[in-house]
């Protein structure tokens, strides 16, 4: 239990800090006044003031924020600080007083830092563990791989046109697609061969999800003696870049399924599930824990890019609208109104994620 609690604090604390530092550093770089840097929401637990900025550790550790003066929409999220501020006179250092490019830089800096962290962590993991190339070592009888015509020694190059560079990428892609047709490109005897496979579906009980979980499989095992190799620093960086991109695509794919109705909202997880998974990863060692943190960092980046006011993506929508309108911004009243709507949506998603976590815990 102690490991789970501590690892959860590390995961959420570090990734929130990384994200907010992106906004903070960018704001300082373009001379925007930052009055508060907060890790957590709600009442202040501890803090100090240095210069014009108050640095705060708040009671609810489910996010953070950088309060930039003159940013329309702050009124909607003022309750996050546990207090409201009196009106102030406009200043040349206000967020809305800065040119469009500067505001864009500040908004995009948070998710950029999350992607950078994920890339660095994935690179470290690849450098530490090496890689298992996607080489087929053994085929399990009466499985989709046999039916599709896989052979021992096949090097898997692509799945549905997506480049596969490591065995774990293959497992990730196939595992998330049970009972799904997949176009496979393999290298066999120096030639490229196209195969069509429909994944099988395995149903296993997950102690973390407290429910039966469906996984896709092909029925192949890696040729470990041939596949395992160490990576140079350049190769590790390439692997880190590729894994960051692959997880970004997977998360956007999951969100697309939710929007189109082909996915279930029950698959959403909240801080309780993150805590359980972080504890499990921490018990496996440093590289497993960093790998998990990298995945969560990509999740945070992608979710923050959703075009919902109050999230970074919503602010980017306002900036895009200003750009296409010839520099005429969306009115403060409309921005505030949409930010309030966005706050309600985000709070609703958080409640849903919490509810899913609780239902998993009690076995509903």
Neighbours of 108 (CB within 10 A): 20
Give the integer Cα–Cα distance in Å for 277 and 8.
9
Angle at 98 between CA 88 and CA 116, to 5 degrees: 115
Query: Can you name the residues that pair with 193 across neighbouring β-strands?
Result: 186
Give the integer Cα–Cα distance in Å for 136 and 242.
21
Q: Which two tokens stand for residue 272?
A: 């309780």
Rounded to 10 degrees, the C-alpha dihedral 98/316/40/334 comes to 80
Neighbours of 20 (CB within 10 A): 20
Neighbours of 332 (CB within 10 A): 12
- Angle at which helix 233-260 crosses helix 167-175, to 10 degrees, equals 0
Q: Nearest CA to 355 among 262, 269, 275, 277?
A: 269
Cβ neighbours of residue 321 under 8 Å, at least 6 residues apart? 329, 330
Catalytic residue among 20, 69, 74, 129: 20
One-letter-per-residue 3-state SS of 125-179: HHHHHCEECCEEEEECCCCHHHHHCCCCCCEEEEECCEECCCHHHHHHHHHCCCC
221 is catalytic: no
Rounded to 10 degrees, the C-alpha dihedral 117/346/43/11 comes to -30
Contact 160, 195 (CB under 8 A): no
> So which residues are the catalytic ones?
20
């Amino acid at each position: 239990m102690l490991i789970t609690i501590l690892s959860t604090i590390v995961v959420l604390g570090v990734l929130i800090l990384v994200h907010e530092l992106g906004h903070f550093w960018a704001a300082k770089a373009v001379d925007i006044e930052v009055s508060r840097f907060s890790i957590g929401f709600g009442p202040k637990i501890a803090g100090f003031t240095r210069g014009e900025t108050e640095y705060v550790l708040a009671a609810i550790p489910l996010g953070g924020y950088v309060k930039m003066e003159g940013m329309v929409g702050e009124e909607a999220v003022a309750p996050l600080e546990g207090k409201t501020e009196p009106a102030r006179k406009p200043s040349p250092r206000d967020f809305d007083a800065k040119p469009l490019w500067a505001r864009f830089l500040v908004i995009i800096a948070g998710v950029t830092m999350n992607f950078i962290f994920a890339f660095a962590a994935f690179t470290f993991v690849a450098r530490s563990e090496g890689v298992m190339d996607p080489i087929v070592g053994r085929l399990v009888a009466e499985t989709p791989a046999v039916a599709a015509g896989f052979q021992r020694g096949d090097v898997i190059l692509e799945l549905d046109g997506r480049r596969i560079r490591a065995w774990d990428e293959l497992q990730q892609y196939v595992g998330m697609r049970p009972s799904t047709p997949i176009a496979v490109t393999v290298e066999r005897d120096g030639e490229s061969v196209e195969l069509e496979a429909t994944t099988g579906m395995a149903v296993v009980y997950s102690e973390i999800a407290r429910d039966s979980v469906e996984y896709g499989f092909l029925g192949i095992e890696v040729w470990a003696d041939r596949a395992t190799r160490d990576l140079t620093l350049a190769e590790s960086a390439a692997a880190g870049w590729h894994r960051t991109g692959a997880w970004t695509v997977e998360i956007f794919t999951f969100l697309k399924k939710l929007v189109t109705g082909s996915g279930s909202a029950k698959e959403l997880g909240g801080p309780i599930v993150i805590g359980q998974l972080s504890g499990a990863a921490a018990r496996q060692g440093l590289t497993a824990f960093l790998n998990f943190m990298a995945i969560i960092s990509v999740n945070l980046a992608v979710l923050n890019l959703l075009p919902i006011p109050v999230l970074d993506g919503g602010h980017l929508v306002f900036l895009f609208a200003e750009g296409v309108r010839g520099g005429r911004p969306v009115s403060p009243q409309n921005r505030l109104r949409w930010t309030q709507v966005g706050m309600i949506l985000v709070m609703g998603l958080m409640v849903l994620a919490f509810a899913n976590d609780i239902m998993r815990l009690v076995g509903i």
